[in-house]
Structure formats: C-alpha cells, structure tokens
Amino acid sequence: MATPFQITIDCVDADVMSRFWSTALGYVEEPPPAGYLSWQDFLRASGIPTPPTGSISAIVDPDDVGPRVLFLRVPEPKTTKNRVHLDLRAGRADDDKHAKVEQLVEAGATVVRRVDEHGGWWMVMQDPEGNEFCVT
C-alpha cells in the first residue's frame, strides 16, 4: 500500500500561491471540516488562533485523486533553483501545451525558456514567487 502524502510549498503569500496553483492544477481551495461554513469558524470553535492573512492555505483535487497541496509562509526568500519541481502534463498536442502556457501566464506565471529535446518540447516556467515548474 502506498503512503499518503501532501506537497508542502514554502512561500511569501500563501493566498496568492493557492490561487495560482489552483488554476495550474485544476484544484480547489480545501473546504472547511463538515459542520463549519469557513475555516475561521472551525478555528474559532476549536480555540485555535486565526493565522494572519496569506500565511497558510491548502488546495485539493476536487476528484480526491491527487495529493493535497499546502502553502506555508516562511520568513526567508527563495534563493536558489528548486531541487524538486512539478511537471504539468498538458497533453501531447502542441496546441494543448501552448494553451496551458497561456493560461498560466494569465494567472501570474513567467515563461523562462522552451526546451526542445528528443523530438518533443516542454516549457520551463516560474510561478508568481519564482519557483520553477514545467509544462510538458
């Protein structure tokens, strides 16, 4: 049996990153626990202080297949190239890849470079906080 996991991404603004990656992955903001209208209601009822805006956010696969993605504000800025990155598989057709790249640029991503290798291509991009990822 596989081990369940989530992906945790350090960031400056968890709300910005949550919105961007929701668009990129087709995910949704994680809903509050059953019986609560919002996360703030849940936190208050549980006696947990409400975190500052932009300090934590989570998104989930609406089909409950992919892993949860958690965004956490950290004090230090990103300083080097990622050692791990996501490859977004847009499809085999060039039009599908171009459409995904365009969608992500509109959502706040930056195109870094196109890589042509082994008879195919992919686009290296950066999210709104400079984390690298690829559209393949």
Phi, psi dihedrals of residue 29, rounded to the nearest 5°: -60, 140
pLDDT of residue 81: 85
- Give dist(CA 44, CA 68) in Å, integer: 23
Contacts from 107-115 at CB under 8 Å and sequence distance 24+? 107/19, 107/20, 107/23, 107/24, 108/16, 108/20, 109/20, 109/24
Query: Residue 119 corresponds to which tokens in the numbers above?
Result: 């008879």
> What's the pLDDT tens digit per position in 43-95?
999 999 999 999 999 999 999 999 999 999 999 988 888 889 999 999 989 99
> What's the pLDDT tens digit per position in 54-64?
999 999 999 99
pLDDT of residue 78: 87
> What's the pLDDT tens digit per position in 99-108?
999 999 999 9
